[in-house]
Structure 1
Amino acid sequence: MAREPSVGDGAARTGTTEIRRSVRRADLKAVGEVRRALRELVRHRCRAETSDVAELLVTELVSNALVHTEQGAEVSVTLVATRLRVEVRDFNARRPTPYVTSADDGTHGRGLVLVQALADAWGVDPLAPGRGKVVWFELEAPAPA
């Protein structure tokens, strides 16, 4: 079951704010819960357009993890100063690759292309054998004007 967002114990001392959430396999309703937790985290700390992009990209990464792997995922969102980092860990070592879709693909296959196009940085970090991978993105997150 999805956990409530947690704010790191050191947040007041370091200026770091975070969310950590576990999502069960095939629990697609948890995608919306993760998106709402992210929105709440950045609501007063970032510009609205940063929040919109972050919500879209976290939706894509969590959905990918739940649809394309046999186990759940772990989501970590960290906001340090003006840098937002989102990590989605799944338990499948297969590396995802962005690809250009055709009209026959319907709504599938666009997630990583969006991440590639909209994130300031992104990547895939393999974990130890049998432990899966982390797909992540970062956005500059300037404070609201």
Structure 2
Amino acid sequence: MTKESTYSLTNKQLSAVIGDEPNFIANLSNAAALLFENLPTINWAGFYLYDSNSDELVLGPFQGRVACIRIQNGKGVCGSAYAKKESIFVEDVNQFPGHIACDAASQSEIVVPLIKDGRIIGVLDIDAPITNRFDEIDQNYLEEFVQILLDPSII
């Protein structure tokens, strides 16, 4: 399968899996599992959700190894994507200033913000154990994935 066909199928599966389910955490959980199962050459897929009390991203549903629990707003790839309100993919995390190494095996990363009604509520984070894993194709399809995920949810 091509990268595009894998993502197209994954996005269709997400729509089917979440259906009319209104529980956001349940949907995030299944979304993380779907990405982890479908995307080749990744070692972590999950979500960090914004906690306004601490102004930090806090670990949400994920698949993969144990992860950092809190990420400061503006720090690392996740915090940077959150602060900028835009997707970021990093070809080599060892070259990213301030990268937070939750898993030393991760070599590249993509982060997509979760924006609902103009308000950023968290980020989707995916890591890979190889460099140069992510590109604009990943970004485009993952941004679509996030929109599918957010549309039916009650947040």
User: If the length of structure 1 is used for normalisation, what is the TM-score?
Assistant: 0.28
Whichever of the two has the greater Rg, that structure is 1
User: If the length of structure 2 is used for normalisation, what is the TM-score?
Assistant: 0.27
